[in-house]
Amino acid sequence: MTRPPLDRHTLGRALTTLANACATDLLHRSPSQAPAQLARRIGLTGAPGAGKSTLAGLLAMHRATHLDSERRIGVLAIDPSSPRSGGAILGDRIRMDELQGSGDLYIRSIGSRSTSDGLSDNLPEMLDLMDQHGFDEVLLETVGVGQAEYAARVQVDTLVLVLLPDSGDVVQAMKAGIMEMADIFVVNKSDLSGAQRMAADIQRIAAVSRVAADRWRPPVLLASARQPDSVAALSDTIDRHQQWLVQADRHTSLLDSRSRYRLRRLIERRLSEAVNELDAQLLRAPMAQQVDAVLAAFASFQSL
């Protein structure tokens, strides 16, 4: 059965509405009918400048054109928002513009807004919307990771950590625990010197990490925008990991983790909104009085 064509205008407007929604708006959203299938989610994370946007675009194009001509693939690329103005440059969209209009390939840049975890406000709801529009896969590119940005792990099925040769990212990854989060390591821009040494360093660290016998062992790949075969190899490895997830029956635990993240973010955002709503007089009051006011605002949110 042929599915209807993607309504890009409707999807774009719906994503914008969700991106601008406050916590109260989300609480009152009517539950949508569960889609027939959930999109496979592939995340790309890594330090700024690692080439995530270029790699995400090439990977999306490869999977859209080489795997299944009717496969509907979306890319959500998150750009950092200014902490002062709230605006974002959305440079990922600029770098991926040449891919727009390629069949059922849909690309959308979104600002990180108030989040500090590498993702974006209301991202769980936006990913649900992609499911409802019949996407088979969604590639999620995060803001450049630091030492506290773990949230991408539960939002995707397969997490790809993109590193640069001789960038010192291995040490940072060890500190951040990213070595334990990633499903696939990619040393990008592998035509630069030091790529092989970087890959060997990651393999040594992974070799001494404690991994249960029934767990996936993350492979280390080399990739370059100038080497199409390296993008194809990454795509094949993603497929192998997706197959392992099915065989190992890991999807239920992932869905539970996503539900916890969604609830936690909703509570955090409403509390933040309540703090921002405090007037000047309350801000000069004792701390206990300020806390009572915030809790009262949250209690009214619960009863809405």
pLDDT digits 0-9 by tens, 104-119: 789 998 887 666 555 7
* C-alpha span between 57 and 134 (Å, rounded): 20
Considering the entire predicted model, what is its pTM? 0.85
Residue 55 scores a pLDDT above 50: yes
Percentage, residues of the chain above pLDDT 70: 79
Residue 230 clears pLDDT 90, i.e. is over it: yes
- Percent of the residues in the chain that have a pLDDT greater than 90, as a whole number: 37
Greater confidence (7 vs 102) lies with 7
Secondary element (H or E) of residue 185? strand 184-187
Question: What does the alpha-carbon distance between residue 264 and residue 243 come to, in Å, rounded to a whole number?
Answer: 30
* Number of neighbouring beta carbons within 10 Å of residue 134: 15
pLDDT band for position 42 (cuts 50, 70, 90):
very high
Average pLDDT across the chain, whole number:
82
Residue 79: the pLDDT is 81
C-alpha span between 142 and 78 (Å, rounded): 5
Quick one: which of 115, 90, 122, 91 has its CA closest to 21?
122
User: pLDDT tens digit string along 10-39?
Assistant: 999 999 999 888 888 887 776 666 677 899
- pLDDT at residue 160 greater than cutoff 70: yes
Per-residue pLDDT band for 85 (boundaries 50, 70, 90) equals very low
pLDDT value of residue 83: 47
Q: What is the pLDDT of residues 171-203, one digit of tens each?
A: 666 555 667 788 999 999 998 888 998 898 888
Distance CA 149, CA 43 (A): 13
pLDDT at residue 298 in the model: 81
C-beta atoms surrounding 137 within 10 Å? 23
Give dist(CA 190, CA 200) in Å, integer. Answer: 13
The residue with greater pLDDT, 289 or 70, is 289
Residues 224-238 have a mean pLDDT of 96
If phi > 0 it is left, if psi is from -120 to 50 it is alpha, else beta; for residue 30 that is: beta
At 288, list the tokens: 């206990």
Tell me what pLDDT residue 87 has.
46
Is the four-CA dihedral 44, 49, 54, 55 of positive or negative sign?
A: negative
> Do 170 and 202 touch, CB atoms closer than 8 A?
yes
Cβ pair 75, 52 in contact under 8 A: no
41 SS3 class: strand
The listed range with the strongest mean pLDDT (87-96, 132-141, 179-188, 263-272) is 132-141
- Give dist(CA 99, CA 198) in Å, integer: 30
